[in-house]
Amino acid sequence: MKKSIIINQIAHKELTKLSESLRMQYGNLVEAMIFYFKHTGIDPKDAINKNPSVMVKSLDKRIVSFLKVQERDILKPLRQDIFEFQKEIKNDTNNYQKEHQDESKKLNRLFSKVINKMNKIDLNHTNLVNQGLLKNQQAFEEICRLIDENNKSGVQDKIKSIFK
C-alpha cells in the first residue's frame, strides 16, 4: 500500500540530493531513515541547526566518561583481583613446594635408613652364609681325611679345589 507525504520544497530538494547520492528511491530512502532513527534512538529534531563537530565532541566526551567509569568500576578492581589471586597462587605454590621439600627430605632420610639397615642385614646374612660355607668346607675336608687319610683317591684335593 502506497502512502504520500507532504514536505516543503527545500526538504524535497534535499531528499532528491540524498536519493541521488545514495542511489535510492524516495520511498526506500524514507523507510531507511525511519528505521535508522528508530533503531539508533536519535531524535532528528535535536540535530537541526547543530554543528556536527560539536555533536561529535559531545558524544566523544560521553564515550570517554563512560570508559573512565568502566575503568574505575570494573577494570581496575578486576586487575587488582587478578593481581591478588596471582600473588595468592604464588604463595600457595611456594608453601606447597616447601611442605613437600620437607616431606621429600624426610622420605629420603627414611629410605636411607631403610637401605642402610637392609645393607647391614645383608652383610650380616652374607657373613653368616660365608661362615656356614667355611664350616661346611672344613667339615667336608675332615670327612675326606677320615675316609682317605693319605689322600690316595685325591678326594681331599678335589674338595679343596671346589671351595677355592
In contact, 144 and 155? CB cutoff 8 Å: yes
CATH of the domain at 14: 1.10.1220
Q: Name the region of 13 (left: φ>0; alpha: ψ -120 to 50; beta: rest).
A: alpha
Cα–Cα nearest to 96, from 86, 106, 88, 107: 88
**Total structural domains in the chain?**
1
Residue 96 lies in a domain: no
Residue 11 domain boundaries: 1-49
* pLDDT by 10-residue block (mean), the chain, 164 residues: 87 93 92 88 71 69 82 86 90 82 81 89 86 80 76 73 74
Cα–Cα nearest to 137, from 117, 159, 105, 115: 159
* pLDDT value of residue 3: 82
pTM of the model: 0.34
Grid coordinates given for 71? 575503568
Residue 108 lies in a domain: no
